Amino acid sequence: MKKLINDPQDVVAESLEGFAAAHPDLVEVHLDPPYVVRAGGAREGKVGLVSGGGSGHEPLHAGFVGVGMLDAAVPGAVFTSPTPDQIAPAIQAADGGKGVLAIVKNYTGDVLNFETGAELAEAEGVTVRSVVVNDDVAVEDSLYTAGRRGVAGTVCVEKIAGAAAERGDDLDAVATLAERVIANVRSMGVALTACTVPHAGKPSFDLPEDEIEIGIGIHGEPGRRRIPLAGADEITEMLLTPVVDDLGLTGGEQVLLFVNGMGGTPASELYVVYRRARALLSERGVEVTRSLVGNYVTSLEMQGASVTVLRLDAELTALWDAPVHTTALRW
């Protein structure tokens, strides 16, 4: 294992220290217990947004704390859910008096711990609503979930719900918009290589040089099938087709196309995937009106990518376009 780390047990804490030092204009980092909040704390009169999950998926979630997205993020240990004693103070720190929406990826530990953390925050007088993101069409159940996993579509939920909160929507309206995005976003990923969790010291699964895993999860969970290595266009079609079919997209619809890198894939390859995915959508009469390409929901240094499609309407498009200023996303 070759990594730019010191003690594997200190990776998350030291990374958070560096993150805080690099971006004091955008975030404040608490280390005991660890969570990240917007610089200056909660915005009075605004619905707060909180998300979180295991570390190793950066920039998710701390990289999306800032204007127009999250008010707080809760990082667990690498590939491990954050604990309720982290989640509760993060929720409280995000509360500006109008309640807090928790955006939770559908992993059993995340769901249970956010539920407990929300209960603890509610005992302190905070009104909390939760939504669960489950955009991965690859499998219904995995090692970590009951039902579909929450993956790259989480970025779309956080961006659009964050814009709604920023414009002044109340908690029910922000939660309803988040649910609308969840109902209209789907993803599927592929792994070319495994990743190595620092404290494990070895790859999380075995994947021969001449094979790839279609439908992989962001923690190295198994996918739909393992196949011989193929060309980028063929792989892209294997990812996009089930996404489009599951959404039931028809000609004339407008979408956001999001090609996400898993951490070890260069941008040049991600654009090869985007090129083919956009062409396939065009062949179906589906218009791509918004795009996002890059490493946003990663799996440490895994080589691979995921394809996410979000069905758009006028309101969702306007909220996607609304100003955002975080370390990882800004316009």
DSSP 255-276: EEEEEEE-BSS-HHHHHHHHHH
3-state secondary structure of 52: strand
Q: How far is CA 303 from CA 46, 145, 262, in A?
A: 39, 23, 6
For residue 226, give both structure tokens: 């393992």
Q: Which residues contact 320 (CB under 8 A, 6 or more apart)?
A: 156, 159, 160, 163, 256, 290, 312
**What are the residues facing 196 on neighbouring strands?**
203
Q: How far is CA 2 from CA 5, 8, 195, in A?
A: 9, 12, 12
Distance, CA of 99 to CA of 113 (rounded, Å): 19
Distance, CA of 118 to CA of 110 (rounded, Å): 12
Q: Is 57 a catalytic residue?
A: yes
For residue 122, give both structure tokens: 């509610």
Distance, CA of 328 to CA of 199 (rounded, Å): 26
Q: Which of 23, 57, 199, 325 is catalytic?
A: 57
What is the CB-side half-sphere exposure of residue 96 using CA atoms within 13 A? 22
Using CA of residue 29, residue 32, residue 35, residue 38, what is the dihedral sign?
Answer: negative
Q: Is 219 a catalytic residue?
A: yes
Q: Which of 23, 61, 199, 219 is catalytic?
A: 219
3-state secondary structure of 92: helix
- Identity of residue 246: D
For the annotated catalytic residues, the residue numbers are 57, 219
